[in-house]
Amino acid sequence: MRKYLFQTAALVLAILFVTPLVANSQESILEKIKERGRLICGVNKELPGFGYLSQDGTWKGFDVDYGRAIAAAVLGDPKKVEFRPLKAADRFPALQTGEIDVLIRNTTWTLTRDTDLGADFAPPTFYDGQGFMLRKDLGITSLKELAGATIGVTAGSTTELNLADTTRALGIEVEPVVFEETETLYQSYDQGRCDVVTSDKSQLLSRRQSLKNPDDHIILDVTISKEPLGPVTVHGDNKWNDVVSWVVYATFFAEEHGITQTNVNTFDTENPEIKRFLGASGDIGAKLGLPKDWARQAIAAVGNYGEIFDRNLTPLGLPRGVNKPWTQGGLLYAIPFR
């Protein structure tokens, strides 16, 4: 009899032990970050220019800088951010499960992702397009000639889907080879496992540098898709999405008005919008749940959009293209700070 008591008691105890409290987390991620004192940002670890771990163990890149800008805006310190390297296929689960606060990992904004994957997008920080890289000596100049080729793509990316769409539209058959890691994809391409790699053009350009003989490879002059890349937050947390979005706009705004990392603390102006922006008058920060000087902190940490771009992407030989302020004919357009 005691044996039953023992068994049952043990099991019930075990169950009670693992039974979690019903979640009552209506709290915004913004509050959680403030409590934690640290932002957790999902990034790429193997894409020089956008996100990578450099030799000296520090994180560098365009996306990484946006992570720092957000940390500076929220916590007043660009160092209070932890970067989590994520594979393409793991990024949405990581976001859904709350493992990361914000995903800044050259992620394309699409309708399905916005609706079905539990994600909310902030404004694109980089307008990209999908291209193809292959060996020069193949002498290929158009997509039609790729019939029968082995084409490498990364798993869980939009490029995988675009490739299928494009080849179907062209009526050619290709053999897709799917790689989990970006690194393996390019390594295999270098070894001749595939004839062609397809990805965002910025990525092709960035990765071409690390091939054995970068000059042996060309990027075809075709773009098969629009790839607006930007930060992503979890669906349903509007307050937090607002913060991320306005940090992005802040970098656009700063470039439009010539506010830079060096002059942001001494910027002298009578323009009321810039004054509001820098926290010199009014308190737009409070509306976002941020300190008064949030934008100033963000710009002081990483600079304006142009500076972020020049620091990370210009060295790769990436032209600014459409990634220019609207005043110069580009697509970057800051919403009024009012």
Contacts by 86-91, CB closer than 8 A, 24 or more apart = 86/42, 86/43, 86/44, 86/45, 87/155, 87/156, 87/180, 87/181, 88/154, 88/155, 88/156, 88/157, 88/182, 89/155, 89/156, 89/180, 90/156, 91/42, 91/156
Q: Does 139 interact with another protein (rule: CB under 8 A)? A: no
Should residue 171 be labelled a site residue for another protein when binding is judged by CB under 8 A? no
**Nearest residue (CB) to another protein, 107 versus 323:** 107
For 131, the token pair is 């291209």
What single letter denotes the amino acid at residue 68? R
Among 117, 218, 222, 280, binds another protein (CB under 8 A): 117
Cβ neighbours, 10 Å, residue 4:
8
Judged by beta carbon, residue 17 or residue 268, the one nearer another protein is 17
- Direct distance between the N- and C-terminal alpha carbons of the chain, in angstroms, rounded to an integer: 74
Q: How far is the CB of 115 from another protein (least distance, A)?
A: 7
Q: Is 109 in the site for another protein (CB under 8 A)?
A: no
Contact 92, 118 (CB under 8 A): yes
CB of 301 to another protein, least distance (A): 20
- 111 part of the interface to another protein, by CB under 8 A: no
Binding segment (CB under 8 A) for another protein, from list 187-195, 239-247, 257-265, 282-290? 187-195
C-alpha angle 128-131-136 in degrees, rounded to nearest 5: 140
Helices and strands (H and E) in the chain: how many: 13, 14
C-alpha 89/C-alpha 48 separation (Å) is 19
CB of 211: closest distance to another protein in angstroms? 9
What's the min distance (Å) between Cβ of 34 and another protein? Answer: 14
Total count of residues recorded for the chain? 338
**Residue closer to another protein, measured from CB, 161 or 280:** 161
Find where tokens 């994957």 sit.
117
Nearer to another protein, 116 or 310 (CB): 116
Q: Which of residues 8-67 bind another protein (CB under 8 A)?
A: 8, 10-12, 15-16, 18-25, 37-38, 46, 57
How is residue 140 written in tokens? 């290929």
CB of 235 to another protein, least distance (A): 5
CB of 107 to another protein, least distance (A): 12
Q: Binding segment for another protein among 169-177, 272-280, 300-308, 318-326 (CB under 8 A)?
A: 169-177
Q: How many residues bind another protein (CB under 8 A)?
A: 76
Q: Which of 195/255 has CB closer to another protein?
A: 195
Judged by CB under 8 A, the residue of 41, 81, 86, 104 near another protein is 86
- Can you tell me whether residue 126 is helix, strand or coil? strand
Distance CA 245, CA 241 (A): 6
The residue range among 143-151, 244-252, 290-298, 303-311 that interacts with another protein, by the rule CB under 8 A, is 143-151
Distance in angstroms (rounded) separating the CA atoms of residues 241 and 161: 27
Among residues 54, 79, 116, 136, which is the contact residue for another protein, using CB under 8 A? 116
Stretch that binds another protein, among 66-74, 92-100, 290-298, 322-330 (CB under 8 A): 92-100
Q: Which of residues 292-331 bind another protein (CB under 8 A)?
A: none
